[in-house]
Structure 1
Amino acid sequence: MTGPAPVAGRGRSDAAMDPVINPHIPTSEVLRGLLAEAPADCVSFGWLLDKLHKRSFGIVLLLLALIGLAPGTSPVVGLLLTIPAIQMILARASPAFPRIIASRRFSTQRLVRLVDRAVPVLRPMETVIRPRWKTPFDATTRVVGLVVLALTSVFFVPIPLSNIVPAVTIMLIALAYLEEDGVLLALSLAAAAAVLFVATFTIWQSVEAVRFMAS
């Protein structure tokens, strides 16, 4: 994923005197920074999106997928994931949720618990995951949105624990997108293709079994 183009007309000496522009900040540090800025009592989903800026798509996918690991959350999380996924396909600058969702307030302690669950998992992974094999940002955003949208369908499969594999896959995709790691992204997309193949085959087998029993 490529960064901004250099400003025309600036000499080498000027560039050398400048500090590093927009250094890459690990996702775990971004999440910790959210807690430092969060109000003491409660926050809204809209506040969260405003604070994340360009990281909003990736972190929203990551947090929703993390929530999606919990039993009984599959339909709600699957539905919520379709919103940023479609907007990524449309190359929107940041996710926009309906007002009834964006204005939803929840206690800051819930955000703290969610971040406390995510950070210990992210930090060891960030020692290995790093920016490499950079890909065009717009194209990557559209591809990630398309794959996540396809994976959301698995959340509605009425099979116990069927939410875990797509949720973990979306977490890996989101992390690769956030950390600009093309290697992890390629592996995650391959895993997504395998998940979709197995889910499609399982559904087809179930339908065939029902048809056989009904005949």
Structure 2
Amino acid sequence: MDGSRPSVLSAPLPAAVTPEHQAGAPISRLVAEVAATCPGERITLGEMAAAFDDRAFGLLLLMLCLPALLPAASVVFGLPILLLGLQMGLGRRTPTLPDFMARQSMKRTDLLRLASGSSRWLGRIERYVRPRPGWFASRAGDRIVGWLAVYVALLLILPGPGTNGPPAFGCIVMALGVVEHDNKVIGWGIALTALGCAIGTAMLLCMVWLGWQGLNYVL
């Protein structure tokens, strides 16, 4: 990602991404539609937020958590995830992105690759994920997802062994459920995220304890 393009938060929905296309549409098809209708070689987070409307939180969390699985990239993506999580936790229905974040962009080809055969795992998950109403798919559930995403972001910002992968994976599952309004998948994602956050917290506490012991030994 880079900041090479201006924000288009005020732009209307692309023609091919109408509300009827959005309702219940598979994630890969939505991604392909946005990539096909947004002009230019790069697509900004602001464009995706405008195009996906009430699914923007889930989509952006998904896009940001995937690279956050890599240790070297986890710190970079922690802050945007933190900002999105705070807005979800506070009950916002659609994200308002700061200009520096809305300008961040990714290559159209990378976005299309997410919806193509190179992301077969996403297709397998999509065969199970579908709109299912329930408490986790309500506004109260969105708040839980948001505050858990905040905790995940903090663990990503404070990198260490085991602090990024497990929490980020759980957040990806939550995001998939949020995009498709799937109560069951959101519930699974919340459980996985809570477990991942517990693992990450335990690893951080172990590092702090080992550091304290080492300091006492030296002194």
* Counterpart position of 1:29: 29
Q: Which residue number in structure 1 is paired with residue 169 of structure 2? A: 168
Gaps of 5+ in 2: 1-19
Q: Which residue of 2 aligns with 1:156?
A: 157
Q: How does 1:52-201 map to 2 (within 5 A)?
A: 52-116=52-116, 119-132=119-132, 134-135=134-135, 137-160=138-161, 162-201=163-202
TM-score (norm 2): 0.78
The answer to whether the Cα contact below 8 Å between 1:43 and 1:108 also exists between their aligned partners in 2 is yes
In 2, Cα distance between equivalents of 1:71 and 1:206: 16
Query: What is the aligned partner in structure 2 of residue 10 from structure 1?
Result: none
Deviations 1:92-113 (A, max 9, x none): 1211121122134554334334
Q: CA deviation at 1:91?
A: 1.4
Taking structure 1 as the reference length, the TM-score comes to: 0.79
SS in structure 2 of the partner of residue 43 of structure 1: strand
In the TM superposition, residue 197 of structure 1 has moved relative to its aligned partner by 1.8
- Take 1:102 and 1:21, find their aligned partners in 2: how far apart are those partners? 24
Aligned to 1:49: 49
What RMSD in Å do the two structures reach over aligned CA positions? 2.5
- CA distance in 1: counterparts of 2:105 and 2:196, whole angstroms: 34
Greater radius of gyration (CA): 1
Paired-residue identity, %: 26
Unaligned runs of 5+ in 1: 1-19
- The answer on whether the counterparts of 1:39 and 1:108 sit within 8 Å (CA) in structure 2 is no
Decide whether aligned partners of structure 1 residues 150 and 134 sit closer, same or farther in structure 2, where only a CA change above 3 A counts: same
Partner of 1:211: 212
Distance (Å, rounded) in 1 between the aligned partners of 2:34 and 2:21: 21
**Shift of residue 49, structure 1, vs aligned partner:** 1.3
- Name the CA distance, whole Å, in 2 between partners of 1:70 and 1:210: 24
2: CA distance between counterparts of 1:106 and 1:176? 23
Structure 1 counterpart of 2:165, one-letter code: I
Aligned residues: 196
Q: Structure 2 counterpart of 1:143, which letter? A: I
